[in-house]
Amino acid sequence: MKILVVQDHLRSGGTERQSILLTRAFAAAGHPATLLTFRPGGALAGELAGVPHRALASFDHHLDWFAPGLLRAVAALAPDVVLCMGRMANCHAGFIQRRFPRVLVVGTMRTGKPLPLLFRRSLRRVRHVVANSHAARQRLIETLALPPGKITVIHNSLVFPAAAELERNVALRAEHGAGPGTLVLLCVAMFRRRKNQRELVEIAAGLPADLDWRLWFAGDGETRAECERLVQARHLGPRVKFLGWQRDPSPLYLAVDIAVHASRSESLSNFVIEAQAHGLPAVVYEAQGIAECFIPGETGFVIPRGDQAAFRGVIERLARSTPAERQARSGRAHAHASKTFDSQRHARDYLELFFRLTGTAR
């Protein structure tokens, strides 16, 4: 079974990492698989070792929606299955399905953002849709009136799974000025308006005066400079670290105490499931699918959007919990995430879906 995975650009986001992971997994399972991007290069281009890849453009035109020669490329590659990842790729999915009616074109729902018109039309036209959370599936049923049988839920996979033994990274804590008794909060996300890192700064600034805390941000993007200015205006410079984009954030997960996320737009957060796999409790604002990232009320806590006092209250309660409570919670988080978001299982789920929908023998 020949599989084509379509993604507009290899920027540093979670969907892009999933596109690379799935293409590699399909190829490893013995299926000729190619990752097709609209633009060449990107932050994750260095992660393509062993992944068959083709870019439509020979130079970066910096236009996410522009897919020159897409239909010609699909015809030349002659796939049995086309899996469209990301908003821009999904906007083109309907055109691919119309031009190649015998090909199984699978759209995906992996966002909490408003869906462009072409995205909505494509999801109605393609043969099947994979949603990465049950909440995203329900949104499609309610807003686009898609038949429930047309939508399958397959969660995101762990790109950075944790080892069975979670050994805390004391050296990295010390490197960034955090002592044994310091509470370190972490957010790993691109700096975009909807990721709402500014509010995490405001939340942390209001924590109790007797709490020795640090807030670390990993990521880059358009709103980083604005967030840095806020930190300076609030005189929080020594407490807030901007660590930039991390190729592999695993060392950070093992060096901090709590994962925090104030995003207003999610479908299933890669950051939160990875943090859980590394044993971190999560405190997050309510967003689509976010509660599916952890065991609500046990390993993760969903706060009504905008309720900063409640957010701080949960952080403080976790900070003042006993070592035995922290260890038990960490173990539950690791076990739950490692099982629920196992990458090999999810690749098999995709392949089983493709086999079923194409009628292909295994």
Share of the chain above pLDDT 70, in %: 99
Structure confidence at residue 361 (pLDDT): 65
Domains of the chain: 3-157+342-358 (3.40.50.2000), 170-340 (3.40.50.2000)
Residues 6 or more apart from 140 whose CB is under 8 A from it?
A: 109, 123, 129, 131, 146, 151
pLDDT average, residue stretch 71-90: 97
Mean pLDDT, range 7-22, rounded to an integer: 95
pLDDT of 18 > 90? The answer is yes
Q: How far apart are CA 133 and CA 178, in angstroms?
A: 35
Distance CA 129, CA 54 (A): 24
Q: How confident is the model at residue 78 (pLDDT cuts 50, 70, 90)?
A: very high
Tokens of 179: 């002592």
**Continuous segment of H or E residues that includes residue 5:** strand 3-7
Q: Mean of the pLDDT values across residues 295-320?
A: 97
DSSP H or E stretch at residue 143: helix 134-143
The pLDDT score that the predictor gives to residue 72 is 98
pLDDT of amino acid 165: 81
pLDDT of 360: 79
What pLDDT does 362 receive? 66
Q: What is the pLDDT of residue 185?
A: 98
In this predicted structure, the answer to whether residue 127 has a pLDDT above a threshold of 80 is: yes
Q: Is 177 left (phi over 0), alpha (psi -120 to 50) or beta?
A: left
Instruction: Say if residue 74's pLDDT is above 90.
Output: yes
pTM for the model stands at 0.93
Digit-coded pLDDT (tens) for 97-120: 999 999 999 999 999 889 999 999
> Which amino acid, one-letter code, is at 198?
R
What average pLDDT does range 21-48 have in this prediction? 96
How does pLDDT run across 135-160, given as a tens digit for each residue? Answer: 999 999 999 999 999 999 999 999 99
| Mean pLDDT, the chain, whole residue set | 95
Q: Which of 178, 204, 167 is nearest to 330 (CA)?
A: 167
pLDDT, tens digit (0-9, with 9 covering 90-100), for 332-361: 999 999 999 999 999 999 999 999 999 876
| Cα maximum dimension of the chain | 65
pLDDT at 163: 83
